[in-house]
């Protein structure tokens, strides 16, 4: 979703922007996540369904924003905050179920740090979107943000893997590797979606590391350039 607000012929008010169709979809996503997380331990299947539907709606709001010419900075921020908080909450839950919990907490920290730095560096550079990485020299980074299908696969794979892990958890303090191996042995069909999800998840984590380093470099260069100005 683009960052700058697109103007229309009729006069807009703050309320009209808040009621943009993409932003309404964002509010519905927040509501679904709140209900889902409230019921996550009492009804795991309902939680997983609500969480995944909310994730699918992440693509719908961007589509309607472009289709209806209702792109807004507020919508872009709402979209990213909802994504990051949803994933963070699920990772916290997984950290309480599986061992070692540090794995999931580290993934949470990487996800938040990389996206926050990317958004801030985008603001410093004056770009319209945090997805504008045309000037990057890293081919994987450019492929991720330049190809919608590839990015969608990585994002879906990541969230599906987390949902599968949540559904497989039967008790606390389980070893995540043991659970995945045992599940694959008991149900060989599960091996295919888990393998596909793991591959996309791994790519997304690599991209997060690249994104964090690239954004940090942009912040440092911004300071250097400012100090060198007469």
List active site positions.
Answer: 83
Rounded CA-CA distance 102/108 in Å is 10
Q: Please state, in angstroms and rounded to a whole number, the distance separating the CA atoms of residues 72 and 17.
A: 7
**Exposed, middle or buried: residue 77 (CB in 10 Å: 0-12, 13-18, 19+)?**
middle
Give residues with Cβ within 8 angstroms of 29, minimum separation 6. 54, 57, 58, 61, 82, 86
Residue 147: HSE in the Cβ half-sphere, 13 Å Cα cutoff: 10
CB neighbour list of residue 8: distance below 8 Å, 6 or more residues apart: 69
Residue 174's φ and ψ, nearest 5 degrees, are -85, 150
Structure tokens at 99: 């061992």
């Amino acid at each position: 979703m683009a960052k700058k607000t697109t103007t229309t012929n009729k006069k807009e008010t703050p309320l009209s922007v808040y009621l943009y169709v993409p932003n309404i979809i964002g509010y519905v996503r927040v509501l679904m996540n709140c209900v889902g997380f409230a019921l996550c331990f009492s009804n795991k299947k309902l939680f997983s369904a609500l969480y995944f539907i909310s994730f699918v709606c992440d693509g719908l709001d961007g589509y309607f924003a472009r289709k209806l010419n209702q792109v807004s900075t507020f919508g872009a921020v709402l979209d990213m905050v909802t994504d990051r908080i949803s994933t963070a909450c699920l990772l916290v839950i997984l950290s309480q179920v599986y061992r070692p919990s540090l794995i999931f907490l580290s993934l949470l920290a990487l996800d938040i740090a990389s996206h926050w730095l990317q958004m801030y560096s985008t603001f410093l550079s004056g770009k319209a979107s945090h997805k504008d990485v045309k000037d990057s020299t890293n081919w994987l980074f450019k492929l991720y943000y330049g190809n919608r299908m590839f990015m969608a696969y990585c994002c879906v794979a990541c969230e599906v893997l987390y949902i599968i892990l949540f559904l497989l958890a039967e008790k606390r303090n389980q070893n995540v590797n043991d659970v995945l191996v045992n599940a694959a042995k008991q149900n060989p069909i599960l091996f295919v979606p888990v393998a596909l999800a793991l591959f996309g998840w791994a790519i997304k984590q690599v991209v997060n590391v690249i994104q964090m380093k690239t954004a940090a470099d942009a912040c440092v260069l911004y300071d250097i350039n400012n100090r060198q100005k007469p």
